[in-house]
Amino acid sequence: MSQTEISITGEPISDAMCRFTVDRPVYPDKSFAFLSKEAAEGSPLAKRLFKIDGITRVLISHEQITINKSAQADWPVIGKSIGAAIRAHLATDDPAVSDAAWENVPSSEEIRERVQQVLDTDINPSVAAHGGVIRLIDVKENQVFIQMGGGCQGCGQADVTLKFGIENAIRAAVTGVGDILDVTDHASGRNPYYAPAKK
Amino acid sequence: MPRVLLLLPTTTYRTEAFVGAASRLGVDVTVASEQPNTLARLNPAGLLTLDFKDPKIAAQRVVEFSTSHRIDAVVSVDSQVVVVGAAISVALGLRHNSVESVTAAQDKHRMRQRFKQAGVPSPQFTLCSLDQDRTTLAGRVDFPCVVKPLSLAASQGVIRADDRGQFIRAVNRLEAILKREHGTSAASDTSGEGRAQSQVRSPASSRQFLVEQFVGGPEVALEGMLTRGELHMLALFDKPDPLHGPFFEETIYVTPSRRVAEMQEEIAQCAAQAARALGLTEGPIHAELRLAKDGPSVIEVNARSIGGLCSRVLRFGTGMSLEELIIRHALEEDFELPERQTQAAGVMMIPTARAGRLIEIRGLDEAKVVNGIEDVTISAHLGQRLVPLPEGSRYLGFIFARAESPEAVEGALRASHAKLEFVIEASVSRTREDDRTSPAIKSVEDVRCAKAADKTS
């Protein structure tokens, strides 16, 4: 199949993030997040993408590639290069993510144990002061799914606690963790510690 | 990598939007709030606690912090932190509004004085005190008028009066609101919210209030960005629901405006003149204007962006959010402001019709699938005690729409809202003013009936 027949659709998520959907699987039924150029070494598609100026993060997931860029880069300019890089990769038989990339990632079970330890020793004793609790729901490959409960569920500061507290502590203690996803139904929180007010 | 200091009050609606924007932009972020985050010790570079009531001490603390973590921009996300944000920026030598200008924008009396001195069209006003004899004051007032606190936001405490009796009742009611907001109730509240409120509110002007001329006509809101004193209009919102009073609860915002181009230009010029009068030069502004018979009249200009979750309807360039735009504007000296995406969009701030405890929300799924509706977010939580205007300060939630025309957006918002039913259990304690403005509700069935009556009136 020629490269020109490959259809790629770009969907801006924000000015800094765009999701490219390819009309065929790129990394079937798996996903891997490259948080730096160095992490992409050895993984052909990610390496091609990080060669484009301004790309800061690449998430390859089945038929989608979600890319973050720096503020200075413009999508109309780098979008064409991204499309070309994806097409060039699909013209080869190279894997999107190398097996070596996974070698540095602990197993799901190891990640689960270490994250649980961080929650038990560092996070939950502290958020308990606001009646909160953080639960580890699942680990899929290196993606971590957590749920915020008690005073954290629906709290106006939940995002701050998640991104600057929980994520920071987990990444500092556990290497190789990919995305940390909050699966909390915040709308159902009945006792948020901080409820937003229109001021 | 540049670092931005986000000043995030713990009770702001804007946390998710600003934290998400900073994360997407890939900049280093330090979040400062008036209460310590429970995990602050785990991330001292990312989580800071500042006394927002004391800008000088807060600025000193950030200057010390910046010796180990350089700060490249300060972003104040809400009204209550614009003064401390300006003080910190001055101390760090960053491009920002002056402390004097944002202080004037925060104080409705100073704002009115500046407008008057600069010839900005705005309502006539008189500064009054709760210590003055109310009957005497009522005799001096021209009706209709609006009784207004100097510092509260989002129409809290703002009451129209058409005669002397209404005026005296309005002032009495405002006094009770100010007592609760600035008095001992927040300080003695040991919840997170109570502590947060007692940290960020100043009692300085709690005995004073404004009596303003009521200006009739439709209202619009202008979202703008100032760069070296030049105003760039980001969006102009129509407010299709009339705001005649006695309270001024905002509901629907729709952009682009359906006003003729000449009027839109006049509105933009008027807002720019008002910003200049205050001395504002940098960063976002949110201006409210009435379109009177003789042209736009500025109700207020705030040195912040649009409140609540309303910014979600705004997208710029290739999908930039308002918060990303604000952070980039603060970080980049020569940032070129992108234009708003042209599709019509709107938001409805769901009004709180009744006082009481929220026990159930019905029709949410149906409200979300109305044609043109992007999302419905309920920000009140079940069990929450709801307080309508003028005492209250929270929205029930927000409805977001996007469609081919402003008319279609407005229609979608109204259709979606009609699907929603909030089951509210009557408050145990009611004031006489509650009884005057909303009949007592004794059961859930009463709520349904009351809602039906609202729709037909």
B346 with B340: CB under 8 angstroms?
no
- At residue B318, the pLDDT reads 81
- At residue B184, the pLDDT reads 42
Least trusted range by pLDDT, from A27-31, A188-192, B159-163, B254-258: A27-31
User: Touching check for B416 and chain A: CB below 8 Å?
Assistant: no
Give the C-alpha separation, A165 to B42, whole Å: 7
Residue-averaged pLDDT of chain B:
89
Whether B38 sits inside 8 A of A56 (CB atoms) is: no
- CB-based contacts of B10: which residues, under 8 Å, 6+ apart? A156, A157, A194, B33, B34, B35, B192, B193, B196
Out of A16, A166, A196, name the one closest to residue B13 (CB): A196
Largest interatomic CA distance in chain B: 62
Looking at per-residue pLDDT, the higher value among A36 and B171 belongs to: B171
- At residue A51, the pLDDT reads 94
Out of A168, A190, A192, name the one closest to residue B42 (CB): A168
> By CA distance, what is B359's nearest residue in A?
A190
Whether B80 sits inside 8 A of A168 (CB atoms) is: no
How much helix, strand and coil, in percent to the nearest 5, is found in chain B?
35, 25, 35
How much helix, strand and coil, in percent to the nearest 5, is found in chain A?
40, 25, 35
Looking at per-residue pLDDT, the higher value among B199 and B54 belongs to: B54
Whether B381 sits inside 8 A of A132 (CB atoms) is: no
User: Touching check for B331 and chain A: CB below 8 Å?
Assistant: yes
Q: In this predicted model, what pLDDT tens digit does every residue of A75-130 receive, in sequence order?
A: 888 999 999 999 999 999 898 998 888 887 889 999 999 999 999 999 999 999 99
Q: List average pLDDT for each run of 10 residues in chain A, which is 199 residues long.
A: 73 80 88 86 92 91 89 86 94 89 87 96 97 96 93 95 94 86 91 81
Whether A157 sits inside 8 A of B15 (CB atoms) is: yes
Largest interatomic CA distance in chain A: 60
ipTM: 0.82
Whether B37 sits inside 8 A of A169 (CB atoms) is: no
On the question of pLDDT at B191 being above 70, the answer is: no
Which strand (E) or helix (H) includes residue B47?
strand B47-49
Out of A161, A192, A196, name the one closest to residue B12 (CB): A196
- At residue B11, the pLDDT reads 92
Give the C-alpha separation, A21 to B447, whole Å: 48
Q: In this predicted model, what pLDDT tens digit does every residue of B365-420 receive, in sequence order?
A: 999 999 999 999 999 999 999 999 999 988 999 999 999 999 999 999 999 999 99
Amino acid at B342: T
On the question of pLDDT at B31 being above 80, the answer is: yes
B381 with B424: CB under 8 angstroms?
no
- At residue B429, the pLDDT reads 52
Give contacts of B321 with chain A, Cβ < 8 Å. 14-15
Out of B24, B154, B318, name the one closest to residue A68 (CB): B24
CB pairs under 8 A between A and B: 166
Structure letter (DSSP) for residue B428: S
Whether A165 sits inside 8 A of B320 (CB atoms) is: no
- B427-455 mean pLDDT: 43
Share of residues in chain B with pLDDT > 70 (%): 88
User: How close A93 gets to chain B, by Cα (Å)?
Assistant: 32
Least trusted range by pLDDT, from B185-194, B221-230, B254-263, B326-335: B185-194
Looking at per-residue pLDDT, the higher value among B51 and A103 belongs to: B51
Q: Which of B10, B152, B361, B398 to mutate to test the interface with A (most CBs of A within 10 A)?
A: B10
Give the C-alpha separation, B44 to B66, whole Å: 12
Give the C-alpha separation, B385 to A115, whole Å: 37
Whether A156 sits inside 8 A of B31 (CB atoms) is: no
User: Touching check for B422 and chain A: CB below 8 Å?
Assistant: no
User: How close B140 gets to chain A, by Cα (Å)?
Assistant: 32
On the question of pLDDT at B186 being above 50, the answer is: no
Amino acid at B54: D
On the question of pLDDT at B451 being above 50, the answer is: no
> By CA distance, what is A123's nearest residue in B?
B39
User: How close A193 gets to chain B, by Cα (Å)?
Assistant: 6
Task: Give B 31-50 residues with CB within 8 A of chain A.
Answer: 31, 33, 37-43, 46-47
User: How close B378 gets to chain A, by Cα (Å)?
Assistant: 7
pTM above 0.90, yes or no: no
Radius of gyration of chain B measured on its C-alpha atoms: 22
- At residue B443, the pLDDT reads 40
Give the C-alpha separation, A48 to A81, whole Å: 10
Which strand (E) or helix (H) includes residue B64?
helix B55-66
Whether B16 sits inside 8 A of A151 (CB atoms) is: no
Q: Write out the two tokens for B135.
A: 């009957």
